Amino acid sequence: MKDSILDRQDYTEKAYRCQYLIVGTGAGGSVAGALLAERGRDVIFLEEGGYFPTESYTSDISAMTAQLYRNRGVFPLLGKPSIALAEGCCVGGGTVINGALICHTPSWVLDEWQNDYGLKGYGLNELKKYFETVERDLHVVRHEIEENGNLDSMKLLKASEELGWKCDMATRAVNDCKNGNSCPTGCISGAKQSALVTYLPRALNNGARIFSRCRAVRIIHSGGKARKIIVRVMGGGPKRIEISFDHLVVAGGAVQTPHLLRRSGISGLAGRNLQFHMNLKVVARFKDRLNAEQGTMFTVQMQEFDREGLLIMASNIKRHYVAMTLSQHTNEEINSVLSNYENLGIFTAMIRPKSVAHISSRFGDQPLVTYRFDPDDLSMIKLALRRTAKLLFQAGAIELYMPVTGAGKIRSLPELEQTLDRVRPENLEIVTVHIMASCPMGTDPAVSAVNPDGKLWKMDNILVTDASVLPSSIGKNPQGTIMAFAHEIINRHV
């Protein structure tokens, strides 16, 4: 596999050629490239990030974050409040650093897409075969109830049962998960079935090549056809190469895909309507010890309110992450909370907000992403925090630290209400790891960027196969949906 993955010293030619050029090796790009290579097509993947195999992963959080994430882990969605977006930037993309939770698209979201965007062929019945394929390819298994590990998740499960709230064991893409607690910085045991160990090796075994540390900066096109791409080789001084192709598949993720299209003067609609989920992180201190580091993230999911767009899960925990999550608290508070580290858990309430972002590509190499906080999201966030607090107190938490600047510790639901009465959007700490819908698929070129075959309107030979093409945010972990769409798009194409 290593021989087919090129790095900066390997680009000795100025120009290359292939039948299919795929920009991005993440969830959507890896599936597209694997299917095309298996059908005998000559495929090159371009990947801006480097190649880091499992053996190179360490427990050094800052070093791994610098290697595997875009901009060392933080990219702002500018607004009030600004939101920190975390995105993978390495061979395998987001699948290398994600929680490996694989979900089906909710049926009500697929219905919305059929009714509002005219999508035919993407209903639950049609996508079912792809969900099954992805589950087989990624060895998706249901996490089992445990007695001695993942106690943060187990507490969520028990408390949900007591409240009569639906809560399920998660289905994750792991093969013999060792609970190494390192999902967001690369799975040290190699258990996580990321694209790096599944779809990409399949593509390489069928002749594909990966050009790593290569950023696509501009698509050269004429007469409604993309002709070649200009590539900047990252690091080690200025170096540019060009790659020509018959077909281009763009899968750089929901910010970078529209940015590349806009910079190349293609598709004015791309990037106008970026949607995302909001993650609200709550640190909880329990009376008894959880030793939550002995476990891993997202092993159960509280889904009682999923139709309203709310999910609650236990997140990955390390001292470093607790300190980061509490960054809006005082030093004394952070030290005091950390002195009870064994009793802590970090929990994520994920919501499907109405706020929408816009990508601007006029300011040089990097996109600028801005969003307007939709007033309805404040009530949704308050409701999410209320429900999370109720669940965590039920689970035995004695103190909660909310993602609200100046909130201090919360010891009861009435105390939380006092905080929520005062909260304004700019006091909230919000992160996001799920972005989508920036090149929505649809039947009307006035409101969609790609047609139902995944082809960019008015361009003969450009497909988009990443999170960008989902017509809207889905209120669930999106990797399974992205991969199912990529399967359908490539199957329609060849």
Ligand X SMILES: Cc1cc2nc3c(=O)[nH]c(=O)nc-3n(C[C@H](O)[C@H](O)[C@H](O)COP(=O)(O)OP(=O)(O)OC[C@H]3O[C@@H](n4cnc5c(N)ncnc54)[C@H](O)[C@@H]3O)c2cc1C
269 phi and psi, to 5 degrees?
A: -80, -20
Query: Contact with ligand X (CB under 6 A): which of 228, 318, 434, 493?
Result: 434
Q: Applying CB under 6 A, does 48 fall inside the site for ligand X?
A: yes
Per the DSSP assignment, residues forming a β-bridge with 243 are 16, 229
Q: Applying CB under 6 A, does 484 fall inside the site for ligand X?
A: no
Nearer to ligand X, 306 or 466 (CB): 466
Query: Contact with ligand X (CB under 6 A): which of 97, 226, 241, 402?
Result: 97
In the complex, the smallest distance separating the C-beta of residue 99 from ligand X, rounded to whole angstroms, is 3
In the complex, the smallest distance separating the C-beta of residue 78 from ligand X, rounded to whole angstroms, is 19
- Choose the stretch contacting ligand X; rule: CB under 6 A; options: 22-30, 34-42, 333-341, 398-406: 22-30
Which residues fall within 8 angstroms of residue 422, CB to CB, at 6 or more apart? none
Nearer to ligand X, 140 or 283 (CB): 140
Q: Applying CB under 6 A, does 260 fall inside the site for ligand X?
A: yes
- Choose the stretch contacting ligand X; rule: CB under 6 A; options: 11-19, 115-123, 249-257, 330-338: 249-257
In the complex, the smallest distance separating the C-beta of residue 422 from ligand X, rounded to whole angstroms, is 30
Secondary structure class of 309 (helix, strand, coil): coil
In the complex, the smallest distance separating the C-beta of residue 287 from ligand X, rounded to whole angstroms, is 29
Q: Which of 460, 465, 469 is nearest to 486 (CA)?
A: 465
Please state, in angstroms and rounded to a whole number, the distance separating the CA atoms of residues 483 and 130. 8
For ligand X, the binding residues in 104-163 under the rule CB under 6 A are none
Tokens of 171: 């289905």
- Pairing state of beta strands 5-6 and 209-212? parallel
Nearer to ligand X, 100 or 407 (CB): 100
Query: Contact with ligand X (CB under 6 A): which of 134, 410, 474, 482?
Result: 482
Nearer to ligand X, 184 or 393 (CB): 184
Please state, in angstroms and rounded to a whole number, the distance separating the CA atoms of residues 19 and 149. 49
In the complex, the smallest distance separating the C-beta of residue 335 from ligand X, rounded to whole angstroms, is 26
Q: Applying CB under 6 A, does 177 fall inside the site for ligand X?
A: no
Question: Considering CB under 6 A, how many residues would be counted as binding ligand X?
Answer: 42
For ligand X, the binding residues in 186-245 under the rule CB under 6 A are 215-216
Tokens of 136: 């087989």
Q: Applying CB under 6 A, does 26 fall inside the site for ligand X?
A: yes
Please state, in angstroms and rounded to a whole number, the distance separating the CA atoms of residues 22 and 48. 12
Please state, in angstroms and rounded to a whole number, the distance separating the CA atoms of residues 151 and 284. 13
Nearer to ligand X, 89 or 392 (CB): 89
Q: Applying CB under 6 A, does 301 fall inside the site for ligand X?
A: no
Please state, in angstroms and rounded to a whole number, the distance separating the CA atoms of residues 392 and 397. 5
Provide the 8-state DSSP code for 69.
B
Contact indicator for 97, 68 with CB cutoff of 8 Å: yes
Residue with tokens 């390489």: 204
- Choose the stretch contacting ligand X; rule: CB under 6 A; options: 35-43, 89-97, 159-167, 327-335: 89-97
In the complex, the smallest distance separating the C-beta of residue 190 from ligand X, rounded to whole angstroms, is 17
Please state, in angstroms and rounded to a whole number, the distance separating the CA atoms of residues 197 and 182. 16
Please state, in angstroms and rounded to a whole number, the distance separating the CA atoms of residues 328 and 280. 13
Q: Applying CB under 6 A, does 86 fall inside the site for ligand X?
A: yes
Q: Kindly list the distances between the CA atom of residue 446 and the CA atoms of 54, 249, 358, 377, 458, in Å, as whole numbers in the listed order.
A: 44, 22, 17, 27, 12
Contact indicator for 85, 438 with CB cutoff of 8 Å: no
In the complex, the smallest distance separating the C-beta of residue 447 from ligand X, rounded to whole angstroms, is 21
State the residues that interact with ligand X by CB under 6 A. Answer: 23-29, 46-49, 86-90, 93-95, 97-101, 184, 215-216, 251-254, 256, 260, 298, 433-434, 466-467, 477-479, 482
